[in-house]
Amino acid sequence: MAEGCLCDQLAGRDVSLSPVCIGHLWLFENLSDDAIEALANAAIRKKFTKGQPVFMQGDPADEMFLIKAGRVMLKKITEDGMEITLDIRKAGDFIGENMLNEEVDYPLMARCMETTFICGFDRKGFEQLVLGHPQIGLQVIKNLSRRISWLTSRVGSMSITNLEDRLYRVLNQVAQEHGVKNQKGFEIQFSLTHEELSFLAGAHRVSITKAMKTLRECGKIIQQGKSLILPSASLPL
């Protein structure tokens, strides 16, 4: 992290920041130094206290951000009002790149587990940045295209890919924490949409659909109506 970074100045001495900067992320690879400087100068920085929400389930998903410090718990509120913890994101994790290719609502809520500092963009601010620096928009499009192509090719493999492994770990965690044990394994009895899974696994919904198909075909998950079953033999002891 460069000396004099705005995150350093705004976070305060009581916050320990991740060395990862917004310009280091795959989304912004191959930008010129001038473009990276413009990116950093335009970024929004926010500081949250413990228990404060970063966003709520159902809010427009119009922000993408890097967690510079702290931890964020991702929760889902089911139709019957049950609150389920699905994941925890830490400093150095990036959330919300789906903002760039689709207008949707957040499928989950994010609540801070401790003092948290984020650096990122809302949709309007990023669009204004791209209008002023078209090369940023062009490079982001190239990076997104490469990412989608890479994920698609990896998911197309007959072996378990990084995305499939990551997706299975998400399902495994949910099954063990919130699933019901039966003769077939651990059953997740509430529905998880591909939109929610794409958010949790950090991948495009198209790639999630293909990864889920491969996991079903190799027997790591069983689809039963709206429920998902992870066979006992696939779960760690």
| Residue ranges making up the domain that contains 200 | 156-234
- Widest Cα–Cα separation across the chain: 59
pTM: 0.69
Q: Does some domain include residue 1?
A: no
Assess whether 175 and 74 both reside in one domain: no
Going by pLDDT thresholds of 50, 70 and 90, the confidence category of residue 125 is: very high
pLDDT digits (tens, 9 = 90+) for 153-187: 544 443 345 788 888 988 888 888 778 888 888 89
Residue where a domain terminates, one of 126, 152, 178: 152
Beta carbons of 48 and 54 less than 8 angstroms apart: yes
The domain spanning residue 214 has which CATH number?
Answer: 1.10.10.10
CA dihedral 130, 132, 134, 135 (to 10 degrees): -100
The domain spanning residue 47 has which CATH number?
Answer: 2.60.120.10
Q: How many CB atoms lie within 10 A of CB 155?
A: 22
Residue where a domain terminates, one of 152, 186, 202: 152
Backbone angles phi, psi at 60, to 5 degrees: -60, 130
C-alpha distances (whole Å) from 151 to each of 28, 144, 157 are 17, 11, 10
